[in-house]
Amino acid sequence: MTPKDRNQTERRILDAVGTIVETEGFEAVGVNAVASVSGVSKVLIYRYFGSIEQLLAKYLEDNDFWLNTEFPIQQYDNVKEFSKAVFRAYIDMLRKSPALRKLYRWELTTNNPAIAGLRERRERTAMDIINAVSRQSGQDIDQVAGISTLITGSVSYLCILAENCAVYNSLEINSDSGWEKLLKTIDFMFDKIFD
């Protein structure tokens, strides 16, 4: 540990936020917790970031919590395969990232400017995809939005729940096998809908 290195200190603080978020969630990110995990005096947290809210805002800004994979609808054979791929990616992303699960969980209990920003961004991204699917498939946009909501909503719910609960409707939401079953159901649904 180099002494008197502000950049490194800020890094350590932000890293501490990351480990706390991943293990205990955003609710547990407090001044004292960050100070003790990072090994940095809590005064510096205030000095360099202003407040916990601003520190969290910075953390959210640094970590791009969104689908970074591009989904060019043109590259897919048809809308059905495109849809399946999008939701598959959504599930993978959420199952792989503890921080993202914690973010979604936090969002359910909180309302603040940082979260509002993330919501807007998600809303725009999602509606872009939904619009594209509606246009290409000729399906009513409300219907597409509805189907999309059913899937992403339940996937979000199950991924959060899985951290504390192993089984939901006989599906093992902790294991790959359970998720493969659900993916099969999603595929089945799309096969029925896009006839």
- Applying CB under 7 A, the residues found at the interface with DNA are 3-6, 8-9, 30-33, 40-44, 46-47, 51-52
Which of 8, 78, 143, 175 lies at the binding interface for a copy of itself (CB under 8 A)? 143
Query: Residue 74 or residue 164: which is nearer to a copy of itself going by CB?
Result: 164
150 counts as binding a copy of itself under rule CB under 8 A: yes
| Cβ(107)–Cβ(48) below 8 Å | no
Contacts 24+ apart (CB under 8 A), 67-76: 67/93, 67/125, 71/129, 73/129, 73/132, 73/133, 73/136
Query: Residue 35 or residue 127: which is nearer to a copy of itself going by CB?
Result: 127
Taking CB within 5 to 8 Å according to partner kind, which of DNA, a copy of itself, none is near residue 31?
DNA
Give the amino acid at 12: R
Can you tell me the distance from the alpha carbon of 50 to that of 35, in angstroms, rounded to the nearest whole number? 14
Contacts 24+ apart (CB under 8 A), 8-16: 9/40, 9/44, 9/48, 10/48, 10/49, 12/38, 12/39, 12/40, 13/38, 13/40, 13/44, 13/45, 13/48, 13/49, 13/55, 14/55, 14/58, 14/59, 14/62, 16/40
Identify residues 59-118 at the interface with a copy of itself (CB under 8 A). 105, 107-111
Q: How far is the CB of 67 from a copy of itself (least distance, A)?
A: 14
Stretch binding a copy of itself (CB under 8 A), from 11-19, 40-48, 63-71, 151-159:
151-159
Q: How far is the CB of 144 from a copy of itself (least distance, A)?
A: 9
Q: What is the binding site for a copy of itself (CB under 8 A)? A: 25, 27, 105, 107-111, 119, 123, 126-127, 130, 142-143, 145-158, 160-161, 164-165, 167-171, 181-182, 184-186, 188-189, 192-193, 195
